[in-house]
Amino acid sequence: MAKDGIRAIEGTRDYFGVDGIRFEKAFGAAAEIFSRYGYEKITSPVFEATGLFARSIGEATDIVEKEMYTFTPGSDSITLRPEGTAGVIRALLQHSMHKQGGLVKLWYGGPMFRRERPQKGRQRQFHQVGIEAVGSGDPLLDAEVIRMGLAYYERLGIGGVRLRLNSIGCAKDECRPAYRKLLKDAIAPKLGEFCKTCQGRFEKNILRILDCKNESCKKLAADLPKSHEKLCGECDQHFTAVKEGLDAHGAQYDVDPTLVRGLDYYTRTVFEYTHSALGAQDAIGGGGRYDGLVEELGGPATQAVGFALGVERIMIAMEALGCCACETPLQVYGIGLGEDCHKAMAGMIARLRNAGISADMDYEGKSFKAQMRAANRRGALVALILGDNELEKGEITVKDMREGGGQETVPLNAGVEAVLQMLP
RNA sequence: GCGGGAGUAGCUCAGCUGGCUAGAGCGUCAGAUUGUGGCUCUGAAGGUCGGGGGUUCGAGCCCCCUCUCUCGCCCCA
């Protein structure tokens, strides 16, 4: 029902009920798994100087060209972050974390903003959890990062995640630039046979021709040289070591020569997690190595690797797979009859909460029956009943709400104890 | 930015070629049961039929405009 009035902005959503639980689970699992691998949480601002994103993501990418929310209050130009890495690396440099010795492992989570047309699994405000491991080029670190992503999905009960892997080489002349030239030479004579967008990509970003979804382009691309077969010696060794690092732990993956990620800063390893439950936007996470970014942002030459996982897409997979999203049931519901009992019950409930028990009561002046129904609907394990006949004697009735459960009447000051005994 | 689909009760939806006070299931509230929930039965509340305009004796239904949601293209999480 589209009532007149203020609605959430197009491409944004409210998370409550089971969605709220799934949303929190996605973040909770991140905290649990990532910290187990030695990552520390960092929370950076959701907006940054526009130039930060332009420099890191790449001027010619769709994100920077047309998807950023940019504001110019006063003489500043600020942008709502379209991804997490740039801000984290900025923070790392600003606080000289890279100078404190050794590898820096950070994780983050929160909203990202891109002004795209919303569709399934794509919103204008969406959420990611991600990690950055800065200060090492060890291929075993790539493998660890990739496996950590798999561990994360597993923790949430998401089975059937597919891992796609590729290497796009490094910036050295004999590596990616040479491969680009190879591609150009191979494509140039047949350029007319490719789709219009690919013809545009030929000059702008030739690697993207590889993952065009147009069927005829796919066929043409199949005969093109593969990036992972044209790597320089060091990149080739690195890629082999990453694969060995995955094999050693039995992680399944598919080397996919068409995997080319859209952000300019990636080097060598790139990977994507996909899931069939999602629809057209089937990537539930992705990442790679970015050995040039720290330097690009004004730091020393530093190797790094990271990933970002899409919370909304994770939630779609959780829903499709029926991953448990049960609310923790209320432990106690208090039923008070009449004004005096209502007051006394408020005190009783307060004592229970102080004792660490989740408890709630009626505040709508409902009938006894209605309060019983409320206790049932809320899933309360125990109901407390306080009417005038109990109150006169200074007692309270404690009822086990389970099928066929009994009840007992105890002195008021023994109520908390009686509840504790009845709870499983 | 460009296409396709859809907007009827809190939710999921039905509503035939236009025809009385617009329906169902679930949920909510109440009663059956004065202080005992779930199951059952009975009843009630709840709708500017997304909005605006048009055609018509008459529009939820037909036409136009508009808004929103949704799926897809592009790109990505």
Q: What type of residue sits at position A161?
A: V
- Could you give the CA distance from residue A381 to residue A379 in angstroms, rounded to a whole number? 6
What proportion of chain A, given as a percentage, has pLDDT over 90?
61
**C-beta within 7 A of nucleic chain B, residues 98-117 of A:** 114, 116-117
The pair phi, psi for residue A275, each rounded to 5°, is -145, 135
pLDDT at A3: 47
pLDDT at A222: 81
Asked if strand B contacts A374 at the CB level, meaning under 7 A, the answer is: yes
pLDDT at A325: 61
pLDDT at A176: 87
A279-319 pLDDT, tens digit per residue, is 778 899 999 999 999 999 999 999 999 999 999 999 999 98
pLDDT at A4: 54
pLDDT at A233: 93
Task: Report ipTM (2 d.p.).
Answer: 0.84
pLDDT tier for residue A58 given thresholds of 50, 70 and 90: confident
Asked if strand B contacts A215 at the CB level, meaning under 7 A, the answer is: no
Asked if strand B contacts A120 at the CB level, meaning under 7 A, the answer is: yes
Strands annotated E in A329-394: 332-336, 359-361, 382-386
- DSSP assignment string, A86-97: HHHHHHHHHTTG
- Could you give the CA distance from residue A90 to residue A48 in angstroms, rounded to a whole number? 9
Residue with tokens 């190797």: A303
Asked if strand B contacts A369 at the CB level, meaning under 7 A, the answer is: yes
Asked if strand B contacts A146 at the CB level, meaning under 7 A, the answer is: no
Shortest-distance nucleotide from A130 CA to C1': B77
**C-beta within 7 A of nucleic chain B, residues 313-332 of A:** 313
Shortest-distance nucleotide from A83 CA to C1': B77
pLDDT at A1: 40
CB atoms within 10 A of CB A402: 11
Per-residue burial over A58-94, b if 16 or more Cβ lie within 10 Å, else e, is: beebebbeeebeeeeeeeeebbbbbbbbbbbbbbbbe
Distance A360 CA to B22 C1' (A): 40
Distance A254 CA to B62 C1' (A): 55
A368-422 pLDDT, tens digit per residue, is 999 999 999 998 999 999 999 899 999 999 999 988 788 999 999 999 999 999 9
Shortest-distance nucleotide from A264 CA to C1': B76
A339-357 pLDDT, tens digit per residue, is 899 999 999 999 999 999 9
Asked if strand B contacts A128 at the CB level, meaning under 7 A, the answer is: yes
Report the first-to-last Cα separation within chain A, whole angstroms.
Answer: 43
Read off the pLDDT of each residue in A160-179 and give the average, rounded to a whole number: 91
- Could you give the CA distance from residue A365 to residue A220 in angstroms, rounded to a whole number? 73
Asked if strand B contacts A214 at the CB level, meaning under 7 A, the answer is: yes
pLDDT at A2: 38
Q: What are the structural domains of chain A?
A: 3-175+231-320 (3.30.930.10), 332-419 (3.40.50.800)
pLDDT at A409: 95
pLDDT at A195: 77
Asked if strand B contacts A94 at the CB level, meaning under 7 A, the answer is: no
Read off the pLDDT of each residue in A3-20 and give the average, rounded to a whole number: 80
Cα–Cα distances in Å, from A216 out to A61, A201, A222, A231? 24, 16, 10, 27
A172-231 pLDDT, tens digit per residue, is 888 988 988 888 888 888 888 887 777 877 877 788 888 777 777 778 888 888 888 889
Distance A408 CA to B33 C1' (A): 22
SS3 of residue A409 by DSSP: strand
Q: Tell how far CA A241 is from the center of its chain.
A: 28
Residue with tokens 């992680």: A251
A117-131 pLDDT, tens digit per residue, is 888 889 999 999 999
A229-283 pLDDT, tens digit per residue, is 889 999 999 999 999 999 999 999 999 988 887 677 899 999 999 998 887 788 9
**C-beta within 7 A of nucleic chain B, residues 262-291 of A:** 262-263, 272-273, 279-286
Nucleotides of B under 7 A from a protein CB: 1-3, 7-11, 28-31, 33-38, 48, 50-51, 67-77
Lowest mean pLDDT among A80-84, A147-151, A161-165, A365-369: A365-369
Asked if strand B contacts A377 at the CB level, meaning under 7 A, the answer is: yes
Q: Are A172 and A179 in contact (CB under 8 A)?
A: no
